[in-house]
Chains A and B, each alone.
Chain A
Amino acid sequence: MMFQATLLSVASQLDDAQKTTKFAIAQLGSIRTLTWNSKVGKAFLDNVNELSERLEMLTGELSNAEEYLGIAMREIQNLEAQIMDQRMAS
């Protein structure tokens, strides 16, 4: 049970990280609504878009990790059950 609780804390950290990343993406989105007419301004906006894409990729990776967390949980459950059985038998 202790290992499952540890993985639950990992899940909560991943969830926080994903929420913060999505918030950062939304904030970067509001830069697009400002006025960027000059060449340098447009280059800056391109950089902001690049960062935004990177953060999108990050949320994708965090989603993958969250999905994989389910598999890891099941495996841990299984192993914990085996350990319990062993202890009962001995």
Chain B
Amino acid sequence: MGYEVNYNELDYAQAGEICQQVAHDINDVVDALANASQTADRCEADMNLQCMVSGIGARGYSVGILGDLIRKGYHQAREGEIQAFELTGKVSEAMRNYEAAEAAVERMMLTSTRSVLIGDFISKTRENGWRPPRENMQTFLRLLMTYMPHWRFNTDRTLNDQIEGVTKFLSQTIKGLGPNRNTEVELTQQDPEQTVEVDGKLTSYFQLHEMLEGKGTENNGKIMIVQADPDTYLALFPGTQNDLDVPSPFGLEGIADGFGLESENFVDPLDEALEISGAKEGDEVILSGYSQGGIHVAQLMKNKFLKHKYKMNKVLTLGSPIGNIDLPEDVRSLHVEDRKDMVPGTDGTANPNKNQQYTTTFPGPREQMNGILPEDGLFGPPHNLKNYGDHLLELDQEPKTEIREHLKNFYLPEPLVKIRMFRLERKEKKRPPLKEEDKERLNQVAPPH
């Protein structure tokens, strides 16, 4: 950030965890010593009583002194316990202070350089066919966040938290006020099963995605389930579709489903489609999504029901803005994006690059794609599925050394796979039928005077 800090997030988190653990350990010691001193006291009292009953003049004092020694240890441990809890609190406070300071500095830097940033945004957007490149899109949104009113969008939080909050708020507002507020997503139709030959590498994902959504509006609203081997399935979700002529839950409202409802309304249809395709509990399910579909698959990766039922820990996204979706740590992911594509930057946050979650960014469409990628569309050639297909081909041909092994985890095991497409539609929510007792009760309700 251009200023010197001596803060290491991981070290602080580790120190906090250690202090907390130590505090709990010492708490156990305190309990053990309290018990031990009480036992010693009781032993001394009982012993003295026995001596008195037996007429023995001599009394034992050592057990009493032992009790005092243990109590001394108890007090020492008690103070240690308080100190350890205080230290835990201090570390947590330091972490919160650091995050708030970091957010304040970022806001300050963004606002102080806003004229440069806006100028850069305009010139880079012009160079990119009047579509903002991913990075400029992200910076612009972050700049916009600094002007959000404090009363509604708590500006003490980090910009990432704030962006997530704003996105959720807007999505929930759209869902709550939109014409589809009383609808749910249902599986309404299944296509016959087909067998498809694939090479098993990453381009297979493009091949399958193109079968799903490369035919205009014909496959609107459909998802694809692929049986890669008897115990491995792949679920593909499409990008945003024009739902004006042919209805589709993947229209613009689908984006609000992704950010506002965390795609919870797609859980049941996906589970149903998997079951129809033969998936059993414990089978592996890999998720793959393009554009809006990437938001859904990333959100579904967090779904407890699906994760409990299936082995779900691999996800692939193509040109999707999923930087604000916190994928579980056990998830191995690959996020492919293009520097000239604005869509992955529309959440104002960089896609993840941590542990086994990789984002690989390409500088732009390759020259060989000139004339192949259509120039129309809101987001232009860099966001076209074919461009992402070409990037997957690049990854197959010349995988980056650091992710070579990682990519192999996404390879499909068999050359012949069975696919089936399922149509999803928004339908009126079904109301549960009235029970007889409820009907009776309603009959007794007097009409208003």
Contact = CB atoms under 8 A, between A and B. Distances in A.
Contacts of B80: 51, 54-55, 58
B70 A21 contact: no
A79 B60 contact: yes
Contacts of A37: 6
A65 B69 contact: yes
A79 B62 CA distance: 12
A90 to B, nearest CB: 9
A68 B60 CA distance: 13
A69 B66 contact: yes
A60 to B, nearest CB: 9
Instruction: Give chain B's interface secondary structure class.
Output: helix
Contacts of B91: 44
Instruction: Give chain A's interface secondary structure class.
Output: helix
Query: Interface residue tally of chain A, by bracket?
Result: 35 or more
Contacts, number: 154
B62 A65 contact: no
Contacts of B32: 13-14, 16-17, 20
B8 A48 contact: no
From B25, B61, B69, B83, name the one whose CB has the most chain A CB atoms within 10 angstroms.
B69
Interface in A39-68: 40-41, 44, 47-48, 50-51, 54-55, 57-58, 61-62, 64-65, 68
A75 to B, nearest CB: 4
B28 interface: yes
A54 B73 contact: no
B22 interface: yes
A58 B63 contact: no
Contacts of A51: 22, 80, 83-84, 87
Query: Interface residue tally of chain B, by bracket?
Result: 35 or more
Interface stretch (B50-58, B106-114, B212-220): B50-58
Given A3-B43, A20-B28, A79-B51, A40 B94 contact: yes
A31 B15 contact: yes
A81 to B, nearest CB: 11
Contact of B83 (A40, A50, A61, A69): A50
Given A28-B18, A44-B87, A75 B26 contact: no
A16 to B, nearest CB: 6
Nearest to B83: A51
Given A6-B39, A7-B63, A65-B66, A30 B58 contact: no
Interface of B: 5-8, 11, 14-15, 18-19, 21-22, 25-26, 28-29, 32-33, 35-36, 39-40, 42-43, 46-47, 50-51, 54-56, 58, 60-63, 65-66, 69-70, 72-73, 76-77, 79-80, 83-84, 87, 90-91, 94
Given A3-B47, A54-B80, 12 more contacts: A3-B43, A13-B39, A20-B25, A21-B25, A28-B18, A36-B11, A44-B15, A44-B87, A55-B80, A58-B80, A76-B60, A86-B54
Give the top 7 A-B pairs by smallest Cβ distance, nearest first: A38-B6, A37-B6, A72-B62, A34-B11, A13-B36, A65-B69, A61-B73
30 contacts: A10-B39, A13-B35, A14-B36, A17-B73, A20-B28, A21-B26, A21-B29, A24-B22, A24-B26, A35-B6, A40-B94, A47-B83, A48-B15, A51-B80, A51-B87, A54-B76, A58-B29, A58-B73, A61-B76, A64-B69, A65-B73, A68-B65, A72-B60, A76-B43, A76-B62, A79-B51, A82-B56, A82-B58, A86-B56, A87-B54
